[in-house]
Amino acid sequence: MENSTNAASNGTSVTGTGGVSDGSWTELCTFSEVPDGEGIQVNVGALVLAVWRVGEQAFVTDDTCTHGEASLARDGMLDGFSIVCGLHQGEFDIRTGLVLAAPCNKPIVSYPACVQGGHVLAKLERVKPS
């Protein structure tokens, strides 16, 4: 649990504090606040984010569906690494933000994230989907 990461979906791990103590990481919530297989909504300034948990990994995306303006964390259903929007059943990959199913055609933003010291941290600069 302590040092899992999606680090922009590359599967690398953060060990110790290397890479997360440089001030560019933002603490979003405790890892235990996010039920396994679900997401929670977190607000950071003007950003409305979703923090997702799949097993011992945390992922962070924008929370608003790009198709119907619905909250993905509140209204959606997580299925593995896929979030299905509760409004029109569009689908996104939480690791990359890429669209997996219509009617969505614009990806959501995915942020590098990690679990460190029992907290979920993310680099909140915009990351373009790959």
Kindly state the average pLDDT of the residues 78-93.
96
pLDDT value of residue 106: 96
Provide the sign of the torsion angle of the four alpha carbons 91, 99, 108, 66, taken in this order. Answer: negative
Contacts of 55 (CB under 8 A, 6+ apart): 36
Kindly state the average pLDDT of the residues 91-106.
96
111-130 pLDDT, tens digit per residue, is 999 999 999 999 997 655 55
pLDDT value of residue 55: 97
Kindly state the DSSP code that residue 61 receives in the 8-state scheme: E
Q: Are 93 and 81 in contact (CB under 8 A)?
A: yes
26-42 pLDDT, tens digit per residue, is 999 999 999 999 999 99
Average pLDDT for the chain? 84
Residue 16 predicted with pLDDT over 80: no
pLDDT value of residue 20: 44
**pTM for this prediction:** 0.81
- Which CATH architecture does the domain made up of 30-123 adopt? 3-layer Sandwich (2.102)
